[in-house]
Amino acid sequence: MSENSGEGSQRRIESIGERHGFSADAAREVASALAAGHGSMAQFSHPELGGMGQWSRGGMLMIGDMFNDGLKGRVRALIDDLATLDPAEIAGPATGQGGGSAPKRWWPDELGQPATSGGQNDQLYAVFPAHRRLAIKRGERVTIHDTGDHRIGGASQQQGASRSLSFSTPEGSIVADDLPIVAEY
């Protein structure tokens, strides 16, 4: 039965992709990224999607082909439709195709599974809202930050010479380096 429901999920993913003019492969890439981001965030890379991109629930979307507004609108519609699916439902078929797997654990075990994780600018991050913690890995150094009352929705692209990660919250952007460090490994 689970195989049939997996096939049904796969067909729904492919149908949504087709409806927005994308291949099954591009749709599976987004579905896999959504599953890895627990339905609230996705980081993907596929030529049909404008290259590398990020999406987070609440409206943030960036694609590599940043001046192609038509493509950005189609990618947004694809992701918004796929995000209505249950992340647990899409995780099985998407990862079964060789796509998004659980991130390799580099943070302390006591933090458990992150709500979202990813990387940019040669840095990795993982967000743990239940513990009010943000883990950042730069090279071999891991720092754990206290997020306080901030509800982090996703990483923002940093421009310029700064290598600090910036995160979106309902109250606006916060810079990781502005959050207090509570542990270092």
- In contact, 153 and 59? CB cutoff 8 Å: no
Q: Does 132 fall in a domain?
A: yes
Domain shared by 43 and 20, yes or no? yes
What number of residues does the chain have?
185
Residue range(s) defining the domain that contains residue 146: 109-184
Q: What is the pLDDT of residues 35-59, one digit of tens each?
A: 877 788 888 888 999 988 889 887 8
Alpha carbon separation from 60 to 65, 75, 107, 171 (Å, rounded): 15, 12, 26, 14
| Structure-derived torsion over alpha carbons of residues 69, 72, 76, 82, reported in degrees to the nearest 10 | 150
* Per-position pLDDT tens, the chain of length 185: 444 556 788 899 999 999 999 999 999 989 988 887 778 888 888 899 998 888 988 788 999 888 999 999 999 999 999 998 876 666 543 333 334 444 568 899 899 888 777 776 678 888 888 899 999 998 889 999 999 999 887 676 555 555 678 887 878 888 999 999 999 99
Domain shared by 23 and 79, yes or no? yes
Interatomic CA distance for residues 29 and 90, integer angstroms: 11
Domain shared by 166 and 120, yes or no? yes
Query: Which residues are paired to 135 by β-bridges?
Result: 126, 144
Domain shared by 132 and 54, yes or no? no
Question: Residue 99 — left, alpha, or beta (φ > 0 → left; ψ -120 to 50 → alpha)?
Answer: beta
Q: Does 133 fall in a domain?
A: yes
Q: What is the pLDDT of residues 96-111, one digit of tens each?
A: 333 444 456 889 989 9
Domain shared by 63 and 141, yes or no? no
DSSP 68-108: -HHHHHHHHHHHHHHTTS-HHHHHHHHHHTT---PPPP-S-
Rounded to two decimals, what is the model's pTM? 0.53
User: Residues 6 or more apart from 27 whose CB is under 8 A from it?
Assistant: 13, 14, 16, 17, 18, 78, 82
Domain shared by 129 and 59, yes or no? no
Q: Does 127 fall in a domain?
A: yes
- In contact, 125 and 143? CB cutoff 8 Å: no
- Number of domains making up the chain: 2
